[in-house]
Amino acid sequence: TTPIRLHDYRPPAWSVETVELDIDLGIDATEVSSRLTLHCDPQQPATLRLDGEGLELLSISLDGRKLDTHEYRYEQSVLEVSGARDGSVLETHVRVRPAANTTLEGLYLSGSREHGFLLTQCEAEGFRRITFFPDRPDVLARYTVTLRADRSRFPVLLAGGNPAGSGELADGRHWARFVDPHPRPCYLFALVAGRLESIQRDYVTADGRKVKLVIWSEANVIDCCHYALDALERSMRWDEHTYGRSFDLDVFHVVATHDFNMGAMENKGLNIFNAKYLLADPDISTDDEYRAVEAVVAHEYFHNWTGNRVTCRDWFQLSLKEGLTVFREQQFSADMNSAALKRIEDVALLRRTQFPEDAGPLAHPVRPAEYREINNFYTATVYEKGSELVRMVAGRLGQEGFRRGMDLYFERHDGQAATIEDFLAALGDANHINLSSYLAWYSQAGTPRLHAKGEYDEVEHTYTLTLSQQTRPTPGHVEKAPLPIPVKLSLFDRHGQMLPLHLDGEAHGTEKVVVLSKPTQRFVFQHVPSAPVPSLLRGFSAPVVLECDYTPDELALLLTHDADGFNRWEAGQQLAMLAFDTLRDGDDSIANKAWRQALAALFEQDAIDDALLADLLTPPGEIEFADRQSEVDPAKIHAQRQAMQHRLAEEIGVDALVARYRALAAHTGAPELDAANQARRRLKRRVLELLALLDAEQAYALAIRQYDSASGMTDRLAALSVLVRHRAPQAATALVHFRKRYADNPLALDKWFTVQAQVPGEPALAIIKHLESDPSFTLKNPNRARSLLGAFASGNPSGFHRMDGAAYQFLAERLAQLDALNPQIAARLATAFNGWQRLEPVRRNAARQALEGLAQREGLSPNLSEIVGNVLQ
């Protein structure tokens, strides 16, 4: 296939003003009648062409006249119709086969034939699997949707928009109609039909509109939807308060399904969620999962304005809605929970997922210049880095300025399909600032390296900070332009006190943002009484890799004294990196001592929030360590990281660990969700993990007791995970118990697979193969496939990267099988191979062989072959 290029964008020759869909639902066959009123752009008269994938065309007519076969052509997923003119009405009648659809795009069946329900997923290009349409986001139309079905099999019929009638039909059938007054792109179309239960609540918007909020799920889990309903209400209030945006339909439906490719989908008025991000219950959800539910509910809701009311002109602009909506969710979650912990979590995620993507063969700009398969571009770069770009701009404008800019963005582009230029222009115009220099961040791949060097002049009492930037080449792009990099900074004296900042003759308090926009710049601070320790990139003010020649003592000082929780953690992470780099082959080092001694001191003081302490006690992950190396040996990284933690545990000491564990355990009986209880559970888990490195027997005894007495999933899973990862003698019994206890709970069973898939090292592959024969394992369910194969290949480096390459061959085989069912998920799991070029030679050769073998297979989907082809480059 030839790539689609941003450069080639043309407005649509044909657009659609109104869509009337009449859908006759059945599990095996569903018939879709569509009536489109068409508009032709007089500037570019062309034959009418509509997208349609795998549709069985039953009849077609234009302006009321049935067409003869020579008047249209349906080939290679395009329907060409002759004779259409501006104002024409095209009617088509097609058949689709939901139960046979394993791609989970378009219309498909969730669950069993007997009990399951029908639903849709259209983003990015699934609508063309339901009916013929110009399937591109810049065609906005008004929708009227009528659903018809057997009442006993499909008692609930839902589509996006306001309800506009329902009634009975002959033979036990019924119908329901929905009208959406807001023009929208077809990727936001959705329907749901089946036996579902609901909970609901009335909501009155800030502008006085009554809205009914309804959450739907299968009957057995409806009790797990209350937390999501609360989170939805919090999100709605927050968006009204923070951005002045209210909901705009009479009813807002949210539906949970266990069969979903993504996390959730923001269909207008009918959000559909992967159950993993909607259901919440102490017995099945960990604290992290509760926060994820809140975050995803908010994210999808916020899309109603950033994505739906203002949508994307084309898929290259995907980050216009995704980066911005991730940013809005991050703001919301920071307001609802601890802002520092949220920032730590998000930066850790960025480093674990986006930095490796940006440093390898899959690197692409936040706004890619070309793609073959758009589904492959729902990436950490478009989402997470995209959010960081919005954050930089928002930081530049300040809270009020950003709000002004967003107001203008909505005012200008409501009801339109916009671009990233439009977004930056609105933000800039509202503040009389030209933000176009930030566009380079959107078009240039790769993580910039920010080099910082400080020099203190004892005579002049000046501190000169020299900042320089460099971005390494990415595939196909060698030359890199300098970017505007906002660096938020403070200076500390050697006692850990913040110093007042004087720059260019002006006082700036104790924190200041300087913007590096050239390859190198110098910033001279005056009236600095003594050689300072700079705290740079505070709050992670730009998505870059900071290179600064800190001494271990300087980092230990920041780790101990920085008042900002995020930066404190960051100093600890940098110190851990330094410690790791100097811990060669088991030898100790000064940096290592500094790291563990500073942490042991903090542990003893008991003056830090428990959750922050837990995060401080956690060194960067294996993937982050690997990301800094030019020749990666994952087994060695694992061993070295374990060794560091072992020394840390020794430094704290068995007695202190056990005492702390007991103190925390005494307080964490009930599974309450407040911050203090969550924090205690987080620290308790970390303490248990450290103890397991030092005194396995005692740790296992505590773990099994914690497992048995746990009143919620957080404690239960933490205990199980310690036992399983260490292959403790008690692990087998606990696993059997867990398997039985949660036999009917897919979300809990996913965790059972994942915890075993992440046993480090050599044993992992055999465990995976054994688990595949569990009757509940299936490649057909994306959550299940991810819980085993994804957790192994992407979340267990020392297990996946075996010297003998057997896991590479194994994954390649599974990817080929999965590809035949669900190309999107196969392509996503294949990204586990990213970074193979930097493996040490033995593994590198083995990975290459597996990838080449996979690439040569017949009949791979465009999704999987694009990823495999790119990774192999």
Residues of this chain that bind Zn ion (CB under 5 A): 322, 325
For ligand BAL, the binding residue among 264, 270, 555, 789 (CB under 6 A) is 264
Task: Fill in the per-residue mask, 83 to 122: x = in contact with ligand BAL (CB under 6 A), - = not in contact.
Answer: ----------------------------------------
Please count the helices (runs of H) and the strands (runs of E) in the chain. 29, 34
Least distance from Zn ion to the Cβ atom of residue 293, Å:
15
Contacts with ligand BAL in 454-513 (CB under 6 A)? none
Between 309 and 726, name the residue whose CB sits nearer to ligand BAL: 309
Least distance from ligand BAL to the Cβ atom of residue 375, Å:
10
Asked whether 120 and 143 are in contact (CB, 8 A), the reply is no
* 300 is a catalytic site residue: yes
Q: How far apart are CA 723 and CA 739, in angstroms?
A: 15
Partner from ligand BAL, Zn ion, none binding residue 182, C-beta < 5-8 Å depending on class: none
Partner from Zn ion, ligand BAL, none binding residue 262, C-beta < 5-8 Å depending on class: ligand BAL
Asked whether 124 and 315 are in contact (CB, 8 A), the reply is yes
Least distance from ligand BAL to the Cβ atom of residue 302, Å:
9
Least distance from ligand BAL to the Cβ atom of residue 307, Å:
7
Asked whether 392 and 439 are in contact (CB, 8 A), the reply is no
Least distance from ligand BAL to the Cβ atom of residue 300, Å:
5
Between 121 and 781, name the residue whose CB sits nearer to ligand BAL: 121
Contacts with ligand BAL in 740-759 (CB under 6 A)? none
Least distance from Zn ion to the Cβ atom of residue 357, Å:
18
Residue 262 binds ligand BAL (CB under 6 A): yes
Residue 300 binds ligand BAL (CB under 6 A): yes
Q: Which stretch binds ligand BAL (CB under 6 A): 31-39, 264-272, 464-472, 785-793?
A: 264-272
Between 194 and 323, name the residue whose CB sits nearer to ligand BAL: 323
Residue 299 binds ligand BAL (CB under 6 A): yes
The DSSP code sequence of 255-283 is EEES--SSSEE--TTEEEEEGGGT---TT
The DSSP code sequence of 654-715 is HHHHHHHHHHHHHH--S---SHHHHHHHHHHHHHHHHHHHH-HHHHHHHHHHHHHH-SSHHH
The set of residues, in sequence order, having a beta carbon less than 8 Å from that of 572 and lying 6+ positions away, is 555, 559, 595, 598, 599, 616
For ligand BAL, the binding residue among 266, 287, 384, 610 (CB under 6 A) is 266
Residue type, 148: R
Partner from ligand BAL, Zn ion, none binding residue 123, C-beta < 5-8 Å depending on class: ligand BAL
Residue 123 binds ligand BAL (CB under 6 A): yes
At which residue do the structure tokens 């530049």 appear?
Answer: 396
For ligand BAL, the binding residue among 105, 138, 322, 346 (CB under 6 A) is 322
The set of residues, in sequence order, having a beta carbon less than 8 Å from that of 590 and lying 6+ positions away, is 552, 582
The secondary structure of 465-522, three-state, reads EEEEEECCCECCECCCCCCCEEEEEEEECCCCCEECCEECCEEECECEEEEECCCEEE
Catalytic residue among 105, 266, 300, 570: 300
Least distance from ligand BAL to the Cβ atom of residue 345, Å:
18
| Paired tokens of 363 | 């690197």
Partner from ligand BAL, Zn ion, none binding residue 413, C-beta < 5-8 Å depending on class: none
3-state secondary structure of 829: helix
Between 104 and 264, name the residue whose CB sits nearer to ligand BAL: 264
Least distance from ligand BAL to the Cβ atom of residue 266, Å:
5
Contacts with ligand BAL in 47-86 (CB under 6 A)? none
Largest Cα separation within the chain, whole Å, is 95
Helix (H) / strand (E) containing 580: helix 565-582
Q: Which stretch binds ligand BAL (CB under 6 A): 101-109, 257-265, 759-767, 859-867?
A: 257-265
The set of residues, in sequence order, having a beta carbon less than 8 Å from that of 618 and lying 6+ positions away, is 686
At which residue do the structure tokens 């657009």 appear?
Answer: 15
Burial class (CB in 10 A: 0-12, 13-18, 19+), 504: exposed
Residues at the interface with ligand BAL (CB under 6 A): 123, 262, 264-266, 299-300, 303, 322
- Return the active site residues: 300
